[in-house]
Chains A and B, each alone.
Chain A
Amino acid sequence: GAVVSQHPSWVICKSGTSVKIECRSLDFQATTMFWYRQFPKQSLMLMATSNEGSKATYEQGVEKDKFLINHASLTLSTLTVTSAHPEDSSFYICSARFQGGKNEQYFGPGTRLTVT
């Protein structure tokens, strides 16, 4: 149980284009999903909290117009990197919060974005 998928697993795009990454909770409903960015050999950096049916909450320093988040259903959240630049190249990981009192998050496998 508690499986989260991400698509695509890797993507290469040209500078100036937009890329959409999907995050799905496969066997549970998630009213809250999170998007993280991770640099090599480092911990996770929270970018935003995605709540179903409402606007995402972005962490300080994260441009909301550049990283568009949509959480249209209880099992799907999307992150769109708009007008991508090489400095946006990174490993993006989503997680879904499992309902219950333990505050557990289950993570997707990640998406490797390379902007050329």
Chain B
Amino acid sequence: TQLLKQSPQFLSIQEGENLTVYCNSSSVFSSLQWYRQEPGEGPVLLVTVVTGGEVKKLKRLTFQFGDARKDSSLHITAAQPGDTGLYLCAGGSAGGTSYGKLTFGQGTILTVHP
């Protein structure tokens, strides 16, 4: 069974601060997705990384996939109240009976105070 440990679980910061969320696993993933979810809504896909060592930037968000494709991080620069939400990482399986499934981390609830 693949597990994805996400940390921290809760993050409460002031507007303008930087933060990093981590996802770690002992398993190799074929891809790694990051989602953001607001209360009462479905998760929205932010980015997909597939290559070990890959770095993707989305405005103030920087996503990194570990060289061994077992871990990933999300870094937010100068956080804003609009960044508040539940952030989820999810690892994609390459094949076998788990093909197509995503393994989700426990989630990080981010609150950015004005």
* A110-B40 in contact (CB<8A): yes
17 pairs from A and B in contact (CB 8 Å cutoff): A2-B45, A42-B106, A43-B6, A43-B88, A43-B104, A43-B106, A44-B43, A49-B101, A91-B40, A101-B50, A103-B93, A103-B100, A104-B31, A105-B102, A107-B43, A109-B41, A110-B41
Question: Which residues does chain A contribute within 8 Å of B6, judged by CB atoms?
Answer: 43
A75 at the B interface (CB under 8 A): no
Q: Quick one: CB contact mask for A85-116 with B, threshold 8 Å, 1 for yes?
A: 00000010101010001111111111010000
Q: How far is the CB of A37 from chain B (nearest CB, A)?
A: 12
Contact of A103 among B40, B42, B92 (CB under 8 A): B92
Question: Which residues does chain A contribute within 8 Å of B24, judged by CB atoms?
Answer: none
| Shortest Cβ-Cβ A-B pairs, 6 listed | A103-B92, A107-B42, A43-B107, A103-B31, A109-B42, A102-B48
A97 to B102, CA, bound (A): 10
Count contacts on A: residues with CB < 8 A to the other chain.
26
A105 to B41, CA, bound (A): 15
Given contacts A103-B31, A110-B42, A112-B40, whether A32 and B100 have CB atoms under 8 Å apart is yes
A106 to B35, CA, bound (A): 10
Which positions in B face A, CB cutoff 8 Å? Answer: 6, 30-31, 33, 35, 40-45, 48, 50, 86, 88, 90, 92-93, 100-102, 104-107, 109
A67 at the B interface (CB under 8 A): no
Contact of A97 among B42, B100, B105 (CB under 8 A): B100
A32 to B7, CA, bound (A): 30
Question: Which residues does chain A contribute within 8 Å of B92, judged by CB atoms?
Answer: 102-104
* A34-B101 in contact (CB<8A): yes
Given contacts A46-B101, A49-B100, A109-B42, whether A104 and B109 have CB atoms under 8 Å apart is no
Q: Specify the chain B residue showing the minimal Cβ separation from A5.
A: B42
* A43-B30 in contact (CB<8A): no
* B43-A41 in contact (CB<8A): no
